[in-house]
Structure 1
Amino acid sequence: MPALRGGGSEALIHHLPPEVLTRMIRHLEAAWPQEGCGVILRSGEGEGGSWRVVPLPNASPTPRVAYAFAPEPWLQVCLDADARQEEVACVFHSHVDAPAVFSSEDRRQAAPAGIALLPQVSYIVVAIHGGRAVSASKSVWCTGGFQTVPLPLADFRFEKPV
């Protein structure tokens, strides 16, 4: 399935437009007090590529402390992405009243038995407190493990509608 190859973390690091991050943040804030989740898709190469934020319903039985993609909507995203020649660049979710860290549960879900399910995909975690994004981090798979760096919210906090 080409959609699951991933757009690569390097593309996300250097070229993700602030408007895309703003859409992601708005979805995660709207999901509060539950964890929100979704993916960011990319089509094309270089500066001419385009990005799409796809919110997904949180199917976790404990949505305040965990997220899970429901199989049917996730499959539909993958099929649509294939048809549009897009790849998954990023999986994102929020933590409710908790730090924006890629938790041990997040790591276990992304790399069961230490094997990354989507090694070329970045993971963004956004801390939502009182319905508002307060911090964020990005994790990428590197040499057998995830490396996490903070993302400054000021870089994608916009008050105008997108």
Structure 2
Amino acid sequence: MLALRRGGSEALIPPEVLARMIRHLEAAWPQEGCGVILRSGAGEGGSWRVIPLPNVSPTPHVAYAFAPEAWLQVCLDADARQEEVACVFHSHVDAPAVFSAEDRRQAAPSGIPLLPQVSYVVVAIRGGRAASASRSVWRAGDFQTVPLALADFRFEKPV
């Protein structure tokens, strides 16, 4: 399972949720895919939702952008369901799974994080398949990035 930040602590995302995220990102190839993972409840009894979002970037092969109206709807729905954004995710097409300079600029314009308690997951998609992944979190005034084992994402269970 993958640990993501939540309100200053770590929360474990079930493998089947991660598998849904990977399937969405692989299906988006050869464009970058993107979306969020929402969480409600606390502890082991919490529930998770993967919300794929359309990539409205003018250059979707090398960048991603959420449509403002889609992002607003996610936020309104999450608030109504008492959920929190646990993760923002996107893919890099035929490129490394690193939190790029552009990713940093989008997540922290002027060096101020927009979602400081949220994890950012980047998945490298090569030839339509996930090849590698990383997770970045805001700590000590910058994003800290660690690689993720893709074995964590290959849990295939009917959902």
Normalising by structure 2, report the TM-score. Answer: 0.93
Q: Which has the higher strand share?
A: 2
Q: Aligned-pair distance for 1:7?
A: 3.1
Q: Which has the higher helix share?
A: 1
**Are 2:123 and 1:126 aligned?**
yes
Q: Which amino acid aligns with 1:11?
A: E
**Aligned equivalents of 1:19, 1:9: Cα separation in 2:** 24
User: 1:79 — aligned with what?
Assistant: 76
Structure 1 segments, 4+ long, off by >6 Å, are: none
Normalising by structure 1, report the TM-score. Answer: 0.92
User: 1:47 — aligned with what?
Assistant: 44
- Structure 2 unaligned residues grouped into runs of 5+: none
- Structure 1 unaligned residues grouped into runs of 5+: 1-5
Deviations along 1:17-57, one digit per CA (max 9) or x if unpaired, are 00110000000000000000000000011111111100000
Q: Kindly, what percent of the aligned residue pairs are identical?
A: 84
Residues 151 and 8 (structure 1), Cα distance of their counterparts in 2 relative to 1, 3 Å cut:
farther
**Are 2:150 and 1:153 aligned?**
yes
How many residues get paired?
A: 155
Residues 94 and 8 (structure 1), Cα distance of their counterparts in 2 relative to 1, 3 Å cut:
farther
**Are 2:133 and 1:139 aligned?**
no
User: 2:63 — aligned with what?
Assistant: 66
Deviations along 1:54-88, one digit per CA (max 9) or x if unpaired, are 00000100000000000111111100000000000
